[in-house]
């Protein structure tokens, strides 16, 4: 009996280790499988790991400060102020008023005498009793009158302090006697006048024909 050499057995069909049979098609991927491949990168690492690594790097990155922004803002403000100062018209200085100079008041040389004013005519000036002399019959006085304004014809009365009545002045025997005519503005006249009265303190009045008492000067007795 002869032995036949073994022939190759035909490959199994449709088994788990054999090729797929006719009409075979691959099963579709599941949703989980698609998600797994979508989450992978070209290097085979999950994207979540890379994101975590980027966060770690950003943590040690230098933080941005507001210093440059503040410097730029200050520069803009300074530029605006400089431009405003350059464009603003200069403020005019108030004109200084000249310091008023005081005009010296002319000094008035004081004059001896008693001032007077005639009410009726407005004539004015000063008068004084420059000297006096008592005798047994009465009082003689040296009168000086200076007229500053107007015209004056003057007379004199005496009123003793001993109770006598008013006595009119008379022409004195002493020279010069007081003139009887009018006195003109700017003139000074003088002369003696006599009163026949008893010796005592006496008030002598300057008068006119229309005004009995213009001004009075007391004479000691």
- HSE, side-chain direction, 13 A CA sphere, residue 170: 11
DSSP type of residue 221:
-
pLDDT at position 22: 57
pLDDT of residue 38: 46
What per-residue confidence (pLDDT) applies to 103? Answer: 67
pLDDT at residue 113 in the model: 92
pLDDT of residue 157: 97
Q: What is the DSSP letter of 53?
A: H
Q: What is the pLDDT of residues 181-199, one digit of tens each?
A: 999 999 999 999 999 999 9
Residue 203, burial from CB neighbour count under 10 angstroms (0-12, 13-18, 19+):
middle
What whole-number distance in Å separates Cα of residue 216 and Cα of residue 116? 9
Q: What topology does CATH give the domain 114-219?
A: Immunoglobulin-like (2.60.40)
In which region does residue 150 sit, left (phi positive, over 0), alpha (psi from -120 to 50) or beta (all else)? left
Q: For residue 10, what pLDDT is reported?
A: 52
Q: Which long-range contacts (CB under 8 A, 24 or more apart) does 69-75 make?
A: none
Low-confidence ranges of the chain (pLDDT < 70): 1-66, 88-110
Provide the residue ranges of all domains of the chain, joining segments of one domain with +.
Answer: 114-219
pLDDT in tens, 16-46: 555 555 555 555 555 444 444 444 444 555 5
């Amino acid at each position: 009996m002869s032995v036949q050499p073994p022939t190759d057995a035909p490959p199994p069909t449709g088994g788990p280790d054999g090729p797929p049979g006719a009409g075979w098609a691959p099963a579709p991927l599941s949703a989980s499988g698609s998600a797994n491949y979508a989450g992978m990168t070209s290097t085979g690492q999950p994207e979540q790991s890379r994101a975590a690594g980027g966060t770690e790097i950003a943590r040690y990155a230098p933080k941005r400060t507001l210093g440059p922004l503040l410097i730029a803002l200050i520069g803009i403000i300074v530029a605006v102020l400089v431009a405003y100062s350059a464009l603003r018209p200069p403020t005019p200085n108030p004109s200084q008023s000249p310091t008023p100079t005081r005009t010296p008041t002319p000094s008035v040389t004081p004059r001896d005498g008693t001032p007077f004013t005639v009410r009726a005519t407005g004539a004015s000036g000063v008068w004084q009793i420059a000297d006096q002399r008592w005798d047994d019959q009465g009082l003689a006085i040296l009168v000086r009158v200076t007229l500053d304004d107007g015209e004056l014809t003057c007379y004199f009365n005496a009123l003793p302090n001993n109770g006598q009545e008013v006595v009119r002045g008379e022409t004195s025997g002493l020279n010069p006697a007081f003139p009887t005519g009018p006195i003109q503005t700017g003139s000074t006249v003088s002369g003696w006048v006599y009163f026949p009265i008893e010796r005592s303190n006496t008030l002598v009045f300057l008068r006119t024909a229309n005004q009995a008492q213009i001004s009075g000067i007391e004479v000691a007795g």
